[in-house]
Every structure is written in structure tokens, then in C-alpha cells.
A and B are shown apart, each in its own frame.
Chain A
Amino acid sequence: MTKEELKKILNDPEFQQLVKKVSTVSLGFTIAIMVIYYSFILLLAYGKDFLGQPISEGSATTIGIPIGIGVIISAWVLTGLYVLWANKNYDPMVKKLREKFGR
């Protein structure tokens, strides 16, 4: 690819928009998983008693169990949401731009 072609793509408003959008979305998702995980860690450090309570009167299951499993499931759900977003938004934009520049 020549320098001119590269410049043309880099200066294309649609390309610039794509870069901005992808960066924002991936940053947002990263923050989401970090917030979920480190909240869990802080809860473990400062809220042990809360996590150790039974989920209802007389049950053996503690609140910590569904929360822990929930962190695992939410990690997976987040990756799923990202794939959904990327398939619906990222891929079509890439396809469009590649067609536009004949690549």
C-alpha cells in the first residue's frame, strides 16, 4: 500500500470515527470487568461477614456463592456482549471501509 493510499484512509472521517468508536467501546468493557472484579476483591477484604451470611433463614448457601458464580458468569456475558457489538457494528464498518478503498 502506498503512502498516499494510507494517508487517504487515515484522513477518512469514517475511518476516524471507527477508531474512536472501537477505542471507546473496548475501554468501556475493560473498565466494566475491572470494576466487577475489584469490587469483588474489596468486598472480600472488607465485607467478609456480609458474604458469609446465608441467602435466606436456615439455608446453607451463603450470599458469597451466588456472587462468586455471578462474577464468573458476568465475565463471560461481557465477552458475549462485546462479540455482539463487534459483529453488529465493527465488522460492517470494516467491510464498508475496505470496499470503499478497494481492499
Chain B
Amino acid sequence: MGRLKYIPLGVLLLSMPSFASGEAIVGMNPVAIAFFLFFITATLGITYWAAKRSRTATEFYAAGRSISGFQNGLALAGDYMSAASFLGIAGMVATKGYDGLIYSIGFLVGWPVIMFLIAEPLRNLGKYTFADVVAYRLKQTPIKTLAAMGSVAVVILYLIAQMVGSGKLIQLVFGIPYELAVVIIGGLMITYVLFGGMLATTWVQIIKAVLLLGGATIMTVWTLSKFGFSPENLFQSVKETVGEKWLKPGGLVSDPIDAISLGLALMFGTAGLPHILMRFYTVPDAKEARKSVFFATGFIGYFYILTFVIGFGAVVLVGLDKITSIGKGGNMAAPLLAQALGGDAFLGFIAAVAFATILAVVAGLTLAGASALSHDLYVGVFRKGQSSEEQEVKITRIAVLVLGVIAIVLGIAFKDQNIAFMVGLAFAIAASTNFPALLMSIVWKKFTTAGAVASMATGLFLSVILIILSKTVWVAILGNPEPIFPYKNPAIISMTAAFVVGILVSLMTKEPEAEEKFEEMKVRKYLGIGAE
């Protein structure tokens, strides 16, 4: 199935050199094209294999719950280590020094929170989405409607950010037009998810994670070899090249409240990202779910340490001027370092790795968004839970196609827009809409449907409004002189408000069935009896 679809893509790829422009940093480098084709062939092969194993709903959404803890750890890391973190954090270290490390730490510390508060109950209580857990003992219709809105909002914002970033990256690296780059990514992403479901998506993530960790490791060792394998020598060279200010904390954390707000969004937003939470249903039980967080945290932490060395390596071996002259915010620091280390061949390899990274992340997002639309909204709300498996999978596939096309269209529409706020907003919504309701539904007996609805609505509304009133939108996009909301991230207000409103409304309303079910739920939550 789908064989014919692959041919036009192949033609598209072969015809790419004719689009090459002079300003691309790789252009049509043969090594890049070889790795690129190898990755696409391998992942499409996997999709073909997975297509036969993606017929039932459990197979399509959760890879038949057949993924091991270690594999899921790699896949989680794959979902989380986007091109933005690889290129963006390396670039931030290169252009701002130590502050890049602070940023990456914020992205890591959400993982232990997932482990200690969410992973095991999520796995034991849910079926395919985190909304299953919130709706476990509350009323399906209102809960699933709002949870689906929260999920889709996060997915769309994250997808646009990835699409725009990757279109720009591919344009810059390979020299193909932006619109074509977005269409290629969108087309491949739809193919993986539509035919191969979660199984193909998981293996795309695993391959990508191995390639990215491998590529970053080679780059780090290679960089350190230029400094006698001594980090101190590297830092000494950084100090001589750009000054000791690179090795000290700079302006990122100047206002403690702003810093704490960002920290809250990153820490608890991670625990509210629908595409991450969905991964926990691909493992057989809570024990494997727990193991997968351990591996994911290790891989992601290790990766952030590598990007720290890569960023500093770039500033010394490539030079700050060259980095800032190509690509905004130093995004090209890592590819340029690859070129400085191993010429065009290694650059081609790293460029292909970055491409694989983008594809894997957007595939995971699309699947999570489609699941929210079909499993939560269509089956949970419109069909009141009454739907055949075939029908559900069919609707998911339609949702994948619709979301894929939306991602391509919005990706092109937002080409020249300032999208810096989008990832921040996605994390703020995840931390304020999804996380509080999920946590309270797991741990608090008196949590009611009205409380959950009020909490999710408050979180969603406040995070969107406050982002609009903050500097990133109010000043940078709408052109007003002063922001109305003083902080860059709304989480400190929106997440706190979501908890407070959820608690107050729950205390004002009574739901005896929900309280009774909370007790019964404990057996499944702690012992896994009756878990899917």
C-alpha cells in the first residue's frame, strides 16, 4: 500500500538540484543527498512494514503496546530533541555562552516530574491519550472536549513552529525553496503517520534519536580532540576568542519572577505535552513506562551536555562573526562546526541528521493531534464512546490528513511571521491547561467535572491572553511600545490560576460518583489491575 505515493517523492528529490541557490551552505552536497535518501528509504521501508501492523486502534495509536522501555526511552528522547534544541541551543551557547546551558537545563527538569507524578498512573489509567485519565472518573463529554482543545492547541502551535523553522533550515542548508521544503516535510510526515501509525512513528523516532545522539557525540569528541580532550583548554580558547563573559551567566535570568515563570512552563509543560504523554501507552505496563523515563532523561541530558560543547566548539573553531552572519540566533553554529571539522562530507551528514530530526518530531505531533481529534473528540464526545475500532482508525487517518494539510498551509502562511512566541505558548498551554487537570484528576479525590472544566478553561484562556499581552506579541508583533503583561512567560499566573480555580470550583461542587470512583481507581492506579 502506498507504493505509488513514494514515486512522486523520489522524483521530487531527484529534481532538487535544479532548485539549488548560491546562498545555501550545503547546497546539493552528495553526502547529504546520500544520507537523506538513505534515511527516507529506511523510514518508508519501516512505514511499509508497520502498515500491516497498524490495523486495530491499539496498534494504530499505541503500536500494539509492544515497545520496550529502552526503545520508548529513545523514542521519547526523539520526540523531545527537536531541531530547535539541537540547532537552537548549540547556537545559543555559541552566541550567548553560558545562558544556553541554563535554557537547556529548564527543558530537562520536566522529565523527573513526569516520572515521579505522571508516568505510572498515566499508563495504568489511560488507553490512548492523557484525556482518558482526566475523564476516567469525571463526565466524558465536557472533559474530553476541553482536553482535546488543549491538545490540539499545543500540537498546532508546536507544529507551525517546527514547520517554519524546518522550512527555513532546509532552505538555508540545501538551497531548495521554502515552500517546497515545507511540502516535502509535510508529505513525508503524513505518509509515516497515515500508513504506519504509532509503530512507524516510534521507529522513525528511534532511528532519528540514534542518528542525532551519534552525530552529536562524534562532533563533541572531534571538537574536544582539537583541545587535547580537555574541556578547560576549550574554555580557555573561548575566553581568548570572545571573552570570559561567555563562561558566566548573562542576561537570561535577570528578573527572578520571569525566570521562575519560564521554569514552571518548561518543567510542568513537558508533563502536559500530548505527544510525549501518548508515548506511555506504547509500552506494556507501568514498570516499562517508568524505565522509559529513566532512559529518556539520560539521553536528553547527555545530549544537552553535548550541545554545550558543540556551541563552544563552534565559537572557537568557526568564529562568532561567521556564525551570526549566517542564520538568525546562531542557528547554523552546529552545521558550520561540522563543516570546519570534517568538511562537506561531515556537514552533509549533520544536515541530514537535522532533517531526520525535524521529520520525526512533526510525525509524533501529528499523531498526537489526530488522536485528540478522533479518540477524544469524535469517539469520546460525538459518539459517546460508542464506535467500532475500524471506524475510529478511519477517523484518525482522516484527522492525520487534515492536520497534515493544515500544518503545510500554516507553515507556508507563517513563513515571514515572527513565531518566536509559539513554542513558549505551547509550553504555557501544556503547563496551564493539560498538566493541572491531569495531576488533580490523578491525586485529588474531591476533584469534580466542573472543577476540571473551569481549570482547563482558565489555563487555556489565561495563557493565550497573557502571551498576547506580553512583550513577544504585544510589542514584537503588534508594535506597541510597552507590554501590558510584564513577564515573558505567563505560566506563573496561568498555571497557578488553573490550580486555584480547579480547587475552588471543585470545593463548591459535589460529585459523589467521582469520589467513589476515585477510591476504586486506586486499585487500577497502583496495582495496574484492569489496565489496558
Contacts and interface: CB of A to CB of B under 8 A. Distances in A.
Interface string A28-71: 01100110111011101110100110000001111011001101
Contacts of A29: 112, 115-116
A65 to B, nearest CB: 7
A74 to B, nearest CB: 9
Given A71-B105, A72-B304, A79-B293, A38 B529 contact: no
B291 interface: yes
Contacts of B116: 26-27, 29-30, 33, 82
A94 B305 contact: no
Given A41-B256, A94-B527, A19 B263 contact: no
Interface string A59-103: 111101100110111011011101100110001001001100101
Interface in B337-378: none
Contacts of B254: 45
Contacts, number: 152
B114 to A, nearest CB: 9
Given A41-B256, A65-B98, A19 B297 contact: no
B520 A6 contact: yes
Nearest to A103: B529
B140 to A, nearest CB: 21
Contact of A30 (B98, B113, B291, B530): B113
Interface in B108-123: 108-109, 111-113, 115-117
A33 B519 CA distance: 29
Contact of A65 (B108, B235, B301, B520): B235
A64 B249 contact: yes
Given A19-B526, A26-B117, A30-B113, A10 B519 contact: yes
5 contacts: A15-B523, A38-B263, A44-B249, A62-B98, A68-B102
> A-B pairs with the 3 shortest C-beta distances?
A52-B248, A45-B256, A60-B235
Interface of B: 98, 101-102, 104-105, 108-109, 111-113, 115-117, 231-232, 235-236, 238-239, 244, 247-249, 252-256, 259-260, 263, 267, 287, 290-291, 293-294, 297-298, 301, 304-305, 308, 443, 519-520, 522-523, 526-530
